[in-house]
Structure 1
Amino acid sequence: MDDVLREIGMIARALDSISNIEFKEHNLTKGQYLYLVRIYEYPGIIQEKLAEMIKVDRTTAARSIKKLETEGFIEKKDDHHNKKIKKLFPTEKGREVYPFLRREGDHSEKAALTGFSEQEREEVFQFVQRIRKNIEGDWEAVKKGKKREY
């Protein structure tokens, strides 16, 4: 069996490690930049949707969001219709650091796909997207307490 998931895991860990080192100067660590980028791109997103988008549990998301709020990168605002809902928005500080995060992401993608034709890039994207969609069902089930059958 090909170890596709091992390869994907190594890529993800290497990129995460690079980002944690490069983003240290901005006081962003342990994947917090992922949250900030999504909040910037989807201003007003709620915590639950953000956790689902990034594929983490609510507790992990809450911890990272709290740190981003404490560091002044994001702010929570009440929903106009439902006061129990808190929407997430980047602050000025968060908006200022976004272009750096975007450049890093673009650079990493360019480096990762060096030597690939445009068609190969599209194929890789489609394959990885299919892998993610295949895994999402198990992720949702396990998150709700179900056991996978092997």
Structure 2
Amino acid sequence: MEDVLRTIGTIARALDSIANIEFVDIDLTRGQYLYLARICEQPGIIQEQLANQLNVDRATVARSVQKLEKKNIITRQNDAKNLRIKHLLPTEKGRSVYKTVKRENDYSTKIAVDGMTDSEILELSKLLNKMKKNINHSWKYVKDGNKREY
């Protein structure tokens, strides 16, 4: 069986390294662009939703959100009905920084699928989403304190 997870991991690490190097000049460090992108694309998202979308624990999200807030890239807004809920919103600076993040993502996507037909790209997207769904089940299972048997 072809080790597709190694290939996916190699691609993900390369793109993450590129982004971390290229985003130094816009004051984003190690993976913060992922959080900013989700917040800009879904203004008002809450930390728990962010954790679930990125498959990271709440403490990791809290640290990253706090750093972005200190840099005035995002802000928190109290929920109108439940003051314990804080909605995450991009600031003007955050929206400006996001434009660079989006351009980099679009460029990297273009490079990654170079030479593929539209139907191949569509099929790849479908297969990757299927894999993501499969893995999300395991992630939630392990996150809840369970251990997989293999």
Class of the TM-score when normalised by the shorter of the 2 chains: over 0.9
Q: What is the root-mean-square deviation in Å for CA atoms of aligned residues?
A: 0.6
Unpaired runs of 5+ in structure 2? none
**Residue 35 of structure 2 is aligned to residue 35 of structure 1:** yes
Alignment-derived partner of residue 59 in structure 1: 59
- Identity among equivalent positions (%) equals 55
**Residue type of the alignment partner of 2:13:** R
SS of structure 1 residue aligned to 2:76: strand
**Residue 21 of structure 2 is aligned to residue 25 of structure 1:** no
Report the TM-score, using the length of structure 2 for normalisation: 0.98
Unpaired runs of 5+ in structure 1? none
1:41-73 CA deviation, whole Å, 9 max, x = no partner? 100000000111111111111111111001110
SS of structure 2 residue aligned to 1:45: coil
After TM superposition, the runs of 4+ consecutive aligned structure 1 residues lying more than 3 A away are none
Measured after TM superposition, the shift of residue 2 of structure 1 is 1.1
**After the TM superposition, which residues 129-148 of structure 1 pair with which residues of structure 2 at under 5 Å, given as runs?**
129-148=129-148
Alignment-derived partner of residue 128 in structure 2: 128
Once residues 83 and 59 of structure 2 are traced to their aligned partners in structure 1, the CA distance between those partners, rounded to angstroms, is: 21
Report the TM-score, using the length of structure 1 for normalisation: 0.98
Measured after TM superposition, the shift of residue 100 of structure 1 is 0.9
**Residue type of the alignment partner of 1:131:** M
Alignment-derived partner of residue 103 in structure 2: 103
**After the TM superposition, which residues 82-97 of structure 1 pair with which residues of structure 2 at under 5 Å, given as runs?**
82-97=82-97
Once residues 3 and 70 of structure 2 are traced to their aligned partners in structure 1, the CA distance between those partners, rounded to angstroms, is: 40
Once residues 106 and 41 of structure 1 are traced to their aligned partners in structure 2, the CA distance between those partners, rounded to angstroms, is: 14
Measured after TM superposition, the shift of residue 99 of structure 1 is 1.2
Once residues 71 and 95 of structure 1 are traced to their aligned partners in structure 2, the CA distance between those partners, rounded to angstroms, is: 13
SS of structure 2 residue aligned to 1:89: strand
